[in-house]
Chain A
């Protein structure tokens, strides 16, 4: 039996620097990143960290001061036309939808991407179904809710998908059910070997759906992590305990850090992998005494790591 191996395409960001002349803000500082096809790569960081600037340089709308961006060994910086042909961008704000229905907006993009006739109808029906938005297909874009406008904008970007897909905060304003549908569709794009880069501030979604995250801070890359490669024994665990009574501080198990919220009767332990067992034993002794209302033990999430990395 033949096994089909997918060719991996790489979007290379090489020594990219960008400083906006008017504001003199250094938006990107010496960025070197390889974005590989077949992965969902989340680009995270605070507002003004340089995420959107990086996407705008990839799609050819912003010119870097120095450095190069290549795909298939062709420079997207020098060849804007090629960049436009291979990159589809979902803007941070909604795509222009005034005066067009949801269906017309998607159809217009299909037509511009040279998909027409039965194939266009098939692709349109498919995306409407996958995002569960077909009931609004005849509604004018300006009358749609913020979430539906965002979904339309997402659909416009991913129909007849380009090899590189850039999504700037695609799930903002979208309801929880359709957020999952968006991520499912993004996963499908990655599985079909597209380079998928998603800017988001939703770190829970990054943990849940992304294969890798890149953290930008003040224009610099401060973390590039493959999520599945984070080893459990290297993780920090968080034990939260809601108590009915004040527990004896002297008996607390060994921990990296302990926080006590008096008003809420809540204790939060930060534990290393090796401290977890003793802490659990200690917890169960208090459960037996009836002092514990509820507890949770989770791996410290990306949010805490993020705060640590950007010193916030």
Chain B
């Protein structure tokens, strides 16, 4: 069989996996979209109630925070729980017997969850514009940065779901969400946190993602390569971990 035909077959099989996954999750995905929309409005409107005076910087932090927290919620909380379920109820084991590559199994789910996150991202931007009247940059760079952050968070979530047993996955996702909501300078400036917490965040992907999105989508600061490196490093580690576990033979 020549390479071209093999490529076409792989592409069809990959699309088959995506279709199957979309059909399986056809009720979950709209529900998750709704959750993200509610989360976006809750952050933009709810957090604003805690601040009596909202200057431009605070409004950008809240608008960008809504977007980043939405991405973290999909990637590191909702997606890993579904992946964990799929491990428990035999979907992964079944997929492993099908004539598809292990990489395809992971990438098909990445695509599904990326699609599921898009309505939340759009609604976060809209909520920011409506509530704070701020400008949102929609260009190639901002779209690419959003996609990098989104895919990285989804891969991190997958890494958690594949690496930990189901109970620990659930706990881990809660810790990530609470940490991201309360102890990360995502919805507020970094100078409000002690130095040692910031030092930890230098190595974690969550603040790096929020910095990148604030810089590219809301133009508040410049894009730091170091943030990109941190994000991509986490994405790579998470992808390799997931792939190793999906490919593992007993």
Report B82 CB to chain A, min CB distance, Å.
Answer: 11
Is B229 close to A, CB under 8 A? no
Is B16 close to A, CB under 8 A? yes
Is A126 close to B, CB under 8 A? no
A99 to B91, CA, bound (A): 12
Is B94 within 8 A of A108, CB to CB? no
Is A112 within 8 A of B20, CB to CB? yes
Is B93 close to A, CB under 8 A? yes
Is A144 close to B, CB under 8 A? no
Is A89 close to B, CB under 8 A? yes
Scoring A residues 69 to 105 as 1 if CB is less than 8 Å from chain B, else 0, what string do you get?
Answer: 0000000000011001101110101111011100010
Is B99 within 8 A of A85, CB to CB? yes
Task: Using known A-B contacts A20-B250, A91-B93, determine if residue A111 contacts B99 with beta carbons closer than 8 Å.
Answer: no
Is B51 close to A, CB under 8 A? no
A113 to B16, CA, bound (A): 9
Report B88 CB to chain A, min CB distance, Å.
Answer: 11
- List the one stretch of A53-61, A186-194, A295-303 in contact with chain B: A53-61
Is B24 close to A, CB under 8 A? yes
Task: Using known A-B contacts A20-B250, A60-B249, determine if residue A84 contacts B13 with beta carbons closer than 8 Å.
Answer: no
A198 to B243, CA, bound (A): 31
Instruction: Report which of A61, A81, A99, A114 forms a contact with B24, defined as CB distance below 8 A.
Output: A99
Is B101 close to A, CB under 8 A? yes
A116 to B23, CA, bound (A): 17
Q: Which A residues are CB-close (under 8 A) to B13?
A: 112, 114
Instruction: Report which of A62, A80, A84 forms a contact with B98, defined as CB distance below 8 A.
Output: A84
Q: Which A residues are CB-close (under 8 A) to B93?
A: 61, 91
Task: Using known A-B contacts A56-B250, A63-B250, A113-B99, determine if residue A93 contacts B90 with beta carbons closer than 8 Å.
Answer: yes
Could you say which of A88, A96, A109, A112 has the most chain B C-beta atoms within 10 Å of its C-beta?
Answer: A112
Report B222 CB to chain A, min CB distance, Å.
Answer: 45
A63 to B97, CA, bound (A): 14
Scoring B residues 68 to 107 as 1 if CB is less than 8 Å from chain A, else 0, what string do you get?
Answer: 0000000000000000001001110110111111000000
Could you say which of B26, B97, B101, B250 has the most chain A C-beta atoms within 10 Å of its C-beta?
Answer: B97
A52 to B121, CA, bound (A): 46
Q: Give the A interface residue count (CB, 8 A).
A: 31
Closest to B25 in A: A99
Is B250 within 8 A of A96, CB to CB? no
Closest to A89 in B: B97
Report A49 CB to chain B, min CB distance, Å.
Answer: 17
Is A100 within 8 A of B23, CB to CB? yes
Is B100 within 8 A of A61, CB to CB? no
A96 to B28, CA, bound (A): 16
Is A62 within 8 A of B91, CB to CB? no
Is A112 within 8 A of B100, CB to CB? yes
Q: Which B residues are CB-close (under 8 A) to A162?
A: 99
Instruction: Report which of B15, B17, B23, B90 forms a contact with A104, defined as CB distance below 8 A.
Output: B23
Is B100 within 8 A of A84, CB to CB? yes
Report B154 CB to chain A, min CB distance, Å.
Answer: 20
A25 to B202, CA, bound (A): 46
Task: Using known A-B contacts A96-B91, A99-B23, determine if residue A91 contacts B16 with beta carbons closer than 8 Å.
Answer: no
Q: Which B residues are CB-close (under 8 A) to A87?
A: 97
Instruction: Report which of B24, B97, B101 forms a contact with A98, defined as CB distance below 8 A.
Output: B24
A62 to B101, CA, bound (A): 16
A81 to B28, CA, bound (A): 32
Q: Which A residues are CB-close (under 8 A) to B16?
A: 108, 111-112, 114
Is B23 within 8 A of A108, CB to CB? yes
Q: List 7 A-B contacts (CB under 8 A).
A: A61-B96, A61-B250, A96-B90, A98-B89, A111-B19, A112-B99, A116-B12
Known interface pairs A85-B99, A95-B90, A99-B28; 14 further A-B residue pairs with C-beta atoms within 8 A, sorted by A's residue number: A60-B249, A63-B249, A88-B97, A91-B94, A96-B89, A96-B90, A96-B94, A99-B27, A111-B12, A111-B20, A112-B99, A114-B13, A114-B16, A116-B12
Query: Hey, which bits of chain B sit against chain A, CB under 8 A?
Result: 9, 12-13, 15-17, 19-20, 23-28, 86, 89-91, 93-94, 96-101, 249-250
The 8 closest A-B pairs by CB, nearest first: A111-B16, A108-B20, A112-B16, A63-B249, A99-B24, A96-B91, A89-B97, A62-B250
Query: Hey, which bits of chain A sit against chain B, CB under 8 A?
Result: 20, 56, 59-63, 80-81, 84-85, 87-89, 91, 93-96, 98-100, 104, 108-109, 111-114, 116, 162
